[in-house]
Amino acid sequence: MKRLILLYIAFLIFTVSFAQQRTHIPYSIYGLGKINPRGGARNIAMGRTGLALSSPFYLNNQNPASYSSIDSVSFFFDFSLGGDFVKYQTGRNGTQHGTDMNLKTVALGFRINPKWTSSIGIHPYSTVGYRIEAIEDIDGAVNETFSVQINGNGGLTQFYWDHAYELFKGLSLGVSMNYLFGKIESKEQVTSAQLSDNIYVYQDSYLHRFYADFGVQYHLPAKKNFEVTLGGVFGKNHKIRIKNEYSVTESSGIVYEQDVTKRGYFDFPLYAGFGAAVNYKNALTLTADYLYYNWSKTESETSDFQYKSNNLFRFGLEYIPGRYADLGYFGGVAYRLGGYIEQSYLEISSKRISDKGFSAGFGFPMLQNKTTLNVAYNFGVNGTLEHGLIKETYHSVMLSLTLHDWWFIKRKID
């Protein structure tokens, strides 16, 4: 137990401090960046679903009410590592590629008393990473140009402490206590033969907020080998504190301008979701989720894009053939498939962006306890070539290791 706690603390520190320069997420130049789906490899492999999923073998941070299935002597430590391989296309400049590998989620899960279960974790809420280069003409000059390079990096991180309480048999209520924080950086470099030094324009945004979200799950009584679970989540709109800093400098060190341009709030959207899962003979699970985010109160500070309310549709299945004793080791392996269609929260050039894809994966159990190795693969297309926009084609791989230990059990040696 002490080793697991120390391992969790080490991964937590590593996750917060670990940062990799990303340049292949072009739409992250807008808003909060690319908003990442929650969940481990099991969720991703099942089409990013999870609102109605609950298991004594996995942690599911998509619905805080889901942890009630964890038994009183189990302690879980879960971490996920993901890699993205992206090809993006434009109508003019052909094709470019990018890769990225980062930790996705680190979490602990345990039961506090017979009705109360808890999980503590951290995951990247949004990611910013882009690089744009352009050559522009100088107004009023002939055959004179300047080059501009814009780099963006950063994003928001979400630290959460989830609680599930079993109100009565089959019904669990959940609350997720969250701290959202992060920094979004933009650096613009202007170079010209007419300038003795390069000009740098820095814009940094700092955001943070404590808030709570809520969840519920209800397991209907089993009938004729079927078990049905319904799940829902809800989060009200919040005002996230934001501070923007702006500066203009030369490479020689001269500072032309430096100021805090804004101290205020960013309107975070209300959201609600509903999911259903059907299990047949503890072997086949079918699940579907719907999520809605209301961005109508969030205003854009530029005409380049607008915030728009968005809908997310997700579907998945999991099949476990049978017990180890009957079918050997591979009878206990989980086989997973899924798909999703998700609108972006951004409208760019009067065009809505959508993300579509499918996923697959496996769950490999360890025989001595509930430790599981989960692998997920995700293929998707985000964006379009219409209206001069960018089309992203991506392959993502996620590896999750759920380590299990026993609470309050003393081994006896004869």
For residue 414, pLDDT beyond 50: no
Residue scoring higher pLDDT (273 or 7): 273
The pLDDT assigned to 138 comes to: 60
**Predicted confidence band at 167 (pLDDT cuts at 50, 70, 90)?**
very high
For residue 177, pLDDT beyond 50: yes
In a domain, 391, yes or no: yes
Residue with tokens 């009183």: 72
DSSP annotation string for 101-136: EEEEEEEEEEEEETTEEEEEEEEEEEEEEEEEEEEE
**Predicted confidence band at 19 (pLDDT cuts at 50, 70, 90)?**
very low
For residue 269, pLDDT beyond 90: yes
The pLDDT assigned to 118 comes to: 94
pLDDT tens-digit map of 34-70: 999 999 999 999 999 999 999 888 899 999 999 998 8
For residue 196, pLDDT beyond 80: no
In a domain, 414, yes or no: no
Task: Tell me how far apart the 2 most distant CA atoms of the chain are, in Å.
Answer: 93
Distance CA 103, CA 403 (A): 16
pLDDT tens-digit map of 347-394: 887 888 899 999 999 999 886 678 889 999 999 999 888 777 888 899
Rounded to the nearest integer, the mean pLDDT of the chain is 84
pTM of the model as a whole: 0.87
**Predicted confidence band at 263 (pLDDT cuts at 50, 70, 90)?**
confident
Percentage of the chain lying above the pLDDT 90 cut: 43
In a domain, 361, yes or no: yes
In a domain, 85, yes or no: yes
Residue scoring higher pLDDT (200 or 117): 117
In a domain, 303, yes or no: yes
For residue 22, pLDDT beyond 70: no
In a domain, 412, yes or no: no
Could you tell me which of 143, 91, 41, 96 has the C-alpha nearest to residue 375? 41
Q: How far is CA 324 from the centre of its chain?
A: 34
- Identify the CATH number of the domain in which residue 236 sits: 2.40.160.60
pLDDT tens-digit map of 107-163: 989 899 889 999 999 999 999 988 887 776 665 555 667 788 888 888 999 999 999
Strands (E), 138-237: 145-168, 171-191, 199-219, 226-235
For residue 21, pLDDT beyond 70: no
Highest mean pLDDT among 83-87, 164-168, 298-302: 164-168
The pLDDT assigned to 117 comes to: 94
Could you tell me which of 263, 129, 248 has the C-alpha nearest to residue 207? 263
The pLDDT assigned to 216 comes to: 97
pLDDT tens-digit map of 292-314: 999 988 888 777 789 999 999 99
Distance CA 180, CA 161 (A): 12
Query: Of 98-112, 147-161, 190-204, which range is least confident?
Result: 190-204
Distance CA 116, CA 110 (A): 9
Residue scoring higher pLDDT (213 or 254): 213
Residue-range definition of the domain harbouring residue 319? 2-406
Q: What angle do CA 19, 160, 262 make, to 5 degrees?
A: 65
| Mean pLDDT in residue range 232-255 | 85
Question: Are 377 and 60 within 8 A, CB to CB?
Answer: no
Distance CA 44, CA 358 (A): 9
In a domain, 176, yes or no: yes
The pLDDT assigned to 218 comes to: 96
In a domain, 374, yes or no: yes
- Both tokens of 300, joined, read 């854009």
* Number of structural domains found in the chain: 1
Residue scoring higher pLDDT (23 or 46): 46
Produce one character per residue of 15-43: b if its CB has 16 or more CB atoms within 10 Å, e if not.
Answer: beeeeeebebbbbbbbbbbbbbbbbbbbb
Per DSSP, what are the bridge partners of residue 373?
Answer: 364, 401
Query: Of 83-87, 268-272, 323-327, which range is least confident?
Result: 323-327
